[in-house]
Structure 1
Amino acid sequence: MAPFSAQRFYDELADDYHLIYPDWSLSVARQGSALDALVREYLRRAKPLDILDCSCGIGTQAIGLAERGHRVVATDLSPAAAARADTEARRRALVMAAAAGDMRALPFADSSFDVVLSADNALAHLLTEDEVRRAVGGMRRVVRDQGLLVLTAKDYGDARQARRQSTVPAVTDTPAGQVVTFQLWHWQDDGVYDFDHIQLLPDGDSWQVRVRRATSRAWTLEELAQLVRECGFDDVTWHSVDESHFFQPVLTARPV
């Protein structure tokens, strides 16, 4: 069966994406703060950095970094998600360029950025090693020689071997009532799985049910680290949640 389209998934989710978080604005601030501290520790520069977020979604990390004074360019495979990121940045009076773009074919000149970022497990939508190499190889091309690559990914642990079937429901309070979000996973071979992303939204005494579908691959952290090395990076390091204060493990790597 053909994989479900990641672009369609995020186009459909864009208006409701913030409902994944108990408090999206607070998550923007926290994630921006964690990533800002990490890149400044590595690059040791007080001045604002040129940062590309090449899988920006609705801007959760990109906006957080722009709020800390960095010059951020944000792209996403989903035009709807990128448009919302642009709207949210404008609402906060931030100067942040956001547009649709595929991280497997980055439309930027060589050595354009101090930092290239892909967060929130975006690489899981790349289902083959060749797709990951295309994306990370492009990141190597557009990052400066003294720059930094930053990736964040889900630590699937034993989920692939155990073929875990669902995620724990997350509950978000809204003025209309509670919103419940969870996923059902349907495993194929080689760690690839289709998932139903299900949101229950209050509708008077009942619920609206919204279902979007996509396909991911449960890459191990070491698999991703090896692919990053193959694409021209060294000093490849995974930072735990406790170390990075980010909600997922964070990989940093320096261009060779």
Structure 2
Amino acid sequence: MSDPSVRAFYDSLAPDYHRIFADWNASMTRQAAVFGSLLQDGVGPGSHRVLDCSCGIGTQAIGLALAGHRVVGSDLSPVSAARATAEAAARGVPVPTAAADMRRLPFAPGVFDVVVCADNSVAHLLTAPDVEAALAGMRRVLRDGGLLVLTVRDYDEIRRTRPRTTPVQVSESSDGGRMITVQLWHWHEDGERYDQEYFQLVPGDGDDCAVRVRRTTSWALTRSQLTEFVTAAGFVDVRWHDPGDSGIYQPVLTARASR
């Protein structure tokens, strides 16, 4: 992971991150229902201690807090983490956050029932030692028998087709303003890693258009690769949940911390 570039990418994106979704609040509610069901299946009913270790601006953390879970967030981007806390407070729930690298989580061992790492965040870890360090940290802060919930892009399919762009996303703000979002992907020679150019276009008056460009790099980890990493980190009962079954737009991995 290139820490300065990834942090700069998300620090810059934080004010606009909700525009990735056609309707951020609706997505937050929908994901909370899905994640809540996974938590109930994995660790039982009731309120659980949850760490969202890549919380971003709070998409998963806020929804889970509104559902009654005791959620703490952390993120490499302090700007994103601060926005998550502010957005949660605006909705009447506490979500304390910390600016922290997922490879060096600043929490005591065994204090969480659930660790969530969503929205393809693990793909920013570009080497095996980085992935191993992050997953070892997630296992350390989970109690025995606790649940890991991780989401990534469908990289098995993506590595087969090697797309060069993502579909165009159009979002609309409360004042009626629109933003167009699209990514260009540039694949490395190894066929596994790719550079992303993230474009956001904001139409102005007449022919004017403001363009915001951000860049980062990701590792397209397949299910078998990620399963191997998760198992080696001390997790068992690794399961994959397809979008058609889970209702989440990315494949979801769940696993239990070994006892």
TM-score tier after normalising by the smaller chain length? over 0.9
Tell me which stretches of 4 or more aligned residues in structure 1 moved more than 3 Å.
none
Unaligned runs of 5+ in 1: none
Which residue of 1 is the match for residue 32 of structure 2?
Answer: 32
Which residue of 1 is the match for residue 218 of structure 2?
Answer: 216
Contact persistence 1:4–1:215 (CA under 8 A): no
Local SS of the residue matching 1:201: strand
Which residue of 1 is the match for residue 184 of structure 2?
Answer: 184
Which residue of 2 is the match for residue 204 of structure 1?
Answer: 205
Which residue of 1 is the match for residue 48 of structure 2?
Answer: 49
Amino acid at match of 1:194: D
Contact persistence 1:160–1:218 (CA under 8 A): yes
Distance 2:40 2:124 in 1: 28
Local SS of the residue matching 2:250: coil
Amino acid at match of 1:225: T
Deviates more, 1:173-182 or 1:202-211: 173-182
Which residue of 2 is the match for residue 169 of structure 1?
Answer: 168
Contact persistence 1:193–1:216 (CA under 8 A): yes
Identity %: 50
Which residue of 1 is the match for residue 118 of structure 2?
Answer: 119
Matches within 5 A, 1:230-241: 230-241=232-243
What is the TM-score when the length of structure 2 is the normalising length?
0.94
Which residue of 1 is the match for residue 195 of structure 2?
Answer: 194
Matches within 5 A, 1:7-156: 7-45=7-45, 47-156=46-155
Contact persistence 1:51–1:117 (CA under 8 A): yes
Shift of 1:104: 0.3
Contact persistence 1:11–1:81 (CA under 8 A): yes
Shift of 1:201: 0.8
**Considering only aligned residues, what root-mean-square deviation do their CA atoms show, in Å?**
1.4
Distance 2:160 2:242 in 1: 22
Distance 1:156 1:95 in 2: 34
Amino acid at match of 1:43: V
Unaligned runs of 5+ in 2: none
Change (3 A) 1:43 1:158: closer
